[in-house]
Amino acid sequence: MKELLPATARPSSGRTSRTSVSIAVALLCLIGLNHVFNANPLRLPLGRHSCHHDDLLPYGLFPKTDDPFHFLPCTRETVPPTLDDPDAAATWAARFNPDPLTWNRGGPTGEGIYLCGYLDVPLDYTNQTDPRIARLAVTKFQVSGPGGGKSERTLVVNPGGPGGSGTGLVWRATDDFSPRFTDYQYDVLGWDPRGVNTSLPRAACFPFNANRDRWSLLHGQYHEVAGPGHLELADALNEAIFQACYEQLGDLGRFLSTTFVARDVEEIRKALGEPELTGYFVSYGTGIGQTWANMFPDSVGRLILDGTEYVRDHRQVGGFGYTALDNATDAWHDGFLGECLHAGPAHCALAVPKVNASSPVQLHDLDARMHALLSSLIARPIPGYTPSTGPSIITYSALVSSIYSAMYNAASWPALAQMLSELEDGNATLATTFINSWEYDPRDPSSCPSPSSPSPLSPSTDELTDLVICADSADAPEWSSPGGPQHLSWWSSLWASMTTRSWISGNSRFYNVFSCRHFNTFWPQPAELYRGDLNNSLSNPILLIAETYDPATPLRNGRRLLHEMGHDNSRLIVHHGYGHSSRDRSVCTDAIAKGYLLKGEVPGEMETDCFADGKPYLYGVDEEWVIVDAEGEVELKRDPVEVWMEHVETMAVWGGRRVGV
């Protein structure tokens, strides 16, 4: 069965113990075999453990010759070699661990295997004389196992962000995409986009995650508490971050546009040797997908875009932010609160009557209570404490950010309801646990690199997000308009209008785009920005999925893309459900997606309505979430902290740490 922890997830948590005699023998034999391959076959080492090639290397050596991805079975060591390594191929080959027990397996019978590799691509596609490369980390789940070949098609996946790790996402393949979309018939491949996570160079601009954490209380404050004067401070912080990025990364910012990422997708397709790409791209990944499809229309095979952006919006200054705002407050009102009351007190803590136990909670009362609670935090934060956090405060900004993140994933709602209910009663323990989201965790040695154990994953590549968003709007006409985004007052108006449109998402979204004011100072001209239409004739239609209550990619965006692409090139599933992308599962959506990926079938109509199978708070629950006894005391049946941590992990896997996606 699959090991739960991806081998590369904790690269600095120490080498796996290598004490077994059989491994030592295998390594010895491997050295011998290398001699065999490289030089004189007669020098095969003979001795007590004579090397039976088939026993010790039942699947032969990795990487296979002519494999453009250089795949090795994933272990803790299989992160790509550094760019300054003069013999990267040799360094990489030495990371092959011949002991099959160290390999990560998965799939219905456990015979599938996770393979880790990398693909070198030009750093600058537009300049043939620039010798620099980007080294893209790639992870593939191969259903046929280490001895088998590739599947007929490979499902290439991208989680969005910008900044989400595709290699991280593939570790969910055996539980998620592979059965859900392909009945385990296709391999699943994900890559860390240029700048992200284990791809090189890495777009990290702080020396340590702890340094970045220090900024976060100053940065990203909500309009309601910060007031307009705060913008000067946040703007200065942004300028300092981009300046640090420039010092650290030089001209890298010119080569991170979505257009270049689309070119990387095409290189991945070619490396796979598949004439048509098969893929599942989510959220911001749908922007990559629609850009790629229109740049390489003859390469389009079966591509699903789920949680659909309309990438033209991102060509405008601030567009990545304001195009997201439509439905976050609907999700709160109809979904988080409304479905809570539908599910009732046995499933949602906020449905338990507080004032008069015999009269049920009304939606408008509950909404008003929640707003009163939040407003009280504007006036004064609530102090909190847990043994692991020490002293803490529950601020308006932190709490609303948590609420926004919860709108992405309705599985988190019972825990959020519990937290808000307790906070209302003056107990800030859960709130303290939920909102503390520092990147640096002093309990985790791998989160702090030291000279003796440098971690290749620290610091995290969070700055990539802003660099991509800003590159994509770097040539917008607004930049040169009088009173335009060169001026802080333009941003101040944007801030006010976005937070007015959505008290939940307006502020978070504003800070996704605000740093762009300083992008052109450091990287005046991104190397390439695709500015063509999105209605090119594709070799196959693509399948869009957009959700009615999506807090990040409103249905309106999917509809506008559908309208531009037209019937020959696209179909849309209107997925009626909660959360971001189609994670609020629907057998209807899944059946269409599977028919499309496996057989190339598309619905006849432009739009097909599909409805989520279950309701929030009631998903598959035979057990109840809470139990209320005769005195009105609430007892929990699931640990809300555990549920919330699952949610936080899901968010991290799907789109990077920062809410953006």
Q: Footprint of ligand NAG on this chain (CB under 6 A)?
A: 6, 8-9, 127, 129-130, 139, 165, 167-168, 197-198, 326-327, 330, 356, 358-359, 422, 427, 429-430, 460, 533, 535-537, 548-549, 554
The residue among 9 and 133 lying less far from ligand NAG, judged by its C-beta, is 9
Q: Whole-angstrom Cα distance, residue 424 to residue 361?
A: 15
When the beta carbons of 227 and 454 are compared against ligand NAG, the nearer one is 454
Minimum gap (Å) between residue 556 Cβ and ligand NAG: 6
Q: Hey, is 143 helix, strand or coil?
A: coil
Check: CB of residue 263 under 8 Å from CB of residue 125.
Answer: yes
Q: Which is nearer to ligand NAG, 38 or 129 (CB)?
A: 129
Q: Could you tell me the smallest distance in angstroms from the CB atom of residue 48 to ligand NAG? A: 39
Separation in Å, CA 370 to CA 221, 332, 419, 425, 432:
20, 11, 12, 12, 17
- The CB-of-517 to ligand NAG minimum distance in angstroms stands at 25
CB of 238 to ligand NAG, least distance (A): 22
- Residue 198 contacts residue 79 (beta carbons within 8 Å): yes
Judged by CB, which is closer to ligand NAG: 44, or 641?
Answer: 641
Beta carbon of residue 356, minimum distance to ligand NAG (angstroms, whole number): 4
Shortest CB 398 distance to ligand NAG, Å: 18
Nearer to ligand NAG (CB atom), residue 323 or residue 548:
548
Q: How far is the CB of 592 from ligand NAG (least distance, A)?
A: 21
**Residue 358 CB coordination number (10 Å):** 5
Segment 170-177 long-range contacts (CB within 8 Å, at least 24 positions apart): 170/114, 170/139, 170/140, 170/141, 171/6, 171/9, 171/114, 171/139, 172/653, 173/106, 173/141, 174/2, 174/106, 174/107, 174/112, 174/141, 177/280
Q: Which is nearer to ligand NAG, 171 or 491 (CB)?
A: 171
What is the closest distance, in whole angstroms, from the C-beta atom of residue 125 to ligand NAG in the complex? 11
Q: What are phi and psi of 618, to 5 degrees?
A: -120, 5
Nearer of residues 511 and 549 to ligand NAG, judged by Cβ = 549
Contact 171, 280 (CB under 8 A): no
Query: Which residues, 6 or more positions from 636, have their beta carbon under 8 angstroms from its beta carbon?
Result: 418, 625, 626
The dihedral built from the CA positions of residue 558, 611, 506 and 244, taken in this order, carries a sign that is negative
Q: Which spans in 436-531 are helix H?
A: 463-472, 488-501, 506-513, 519-522
Whichever of 2 and 594 has its CB closer to ligand NAG, that residue is 2
Closest contact distance (angstroms) between CB of 219 and ligand NAG is 20
Closer CB to ligand NAG, residue 164 or residue 485? 164
Token pair 């300028």 is at which residue?
239
Residue 235 or 251: the one with the smaller Cβ distance to ligand NAG is 251
Alpha helices in 324-451 (DSSP H): 328-330, 340-343, 363-379, 396-407, 413-424, 429-435
- Our CB check for ligand NAG shows the closer of 73 and 485 to be 73
CB of 36 to ligand NAG, least distance (A): 32
Question: Which residue, 349 or 370, is less far from ligand NAG as judged by CB?
Answer: 349
Q: How far from 497 is each of 162, 174, 464, 494, 604, CA to CA, in Å?
A: 24, 43, 26, 5, 40
Residues in the chain: 661
CB of 554 to ligand NAG, least distance (A): 6
Least distance in angstroms from the C-beta of 260 to ligand NAG = 14
In the complex with ligand NAG, the residue whose CB is nearer, 82 or 537, is 537
Asked, as a colleague might, if the bond just before 162 is cis with ω within 30 of 0, I would say: yes
For residue 434, give every residue at least 6 positions away whose Cβ sits within 8 Å of its Cβ, in sequence order, or none.
Answer: 402, 415, 416, 419, 641, 644
Query: Using CA of residue 163, residue 167, residue 173, residue 178, what is the dihedral sign?
Result: positive
Nearer to ligand NAG, 151 or 535 (CB): 535
Name the residue nearer to ligand NAG (CB basis): 250 or 477: 250
Residue type, 450: S
Minimum distance of ligand NAG from residue 254's CB (angstroms)? 8
CB-count burial class (<10 Å; 0-12, 13-18, 19+) for 50: exposed
Shortest distance (Å) from residue 171 CB to ligand NAG: 6
Integer CA distances (angstroms), 152 to 122, 266, 292, 598, 631, in order: 28, 18, 22, 10, 61
Contact between 304 and 543 (Cβ < 8 Å): yes
- DSSP notation for 322-340: HTT-TTHHHIIIIIIIIIH
* Rounded Cα–Cα distance for residues 195 and 166 (Å): 12
- Cα 135 to Cα 83, 89, 94, 120, 138: the distances in Å are 8, 12, 18, 4, 9
In the complex, minimum distance from the CB of residue 635 to ligand NAG, in angstroms, rounded to a whole number: 11
Q: Count H helices and E strands in the chain, helices first.
A: 24, 15
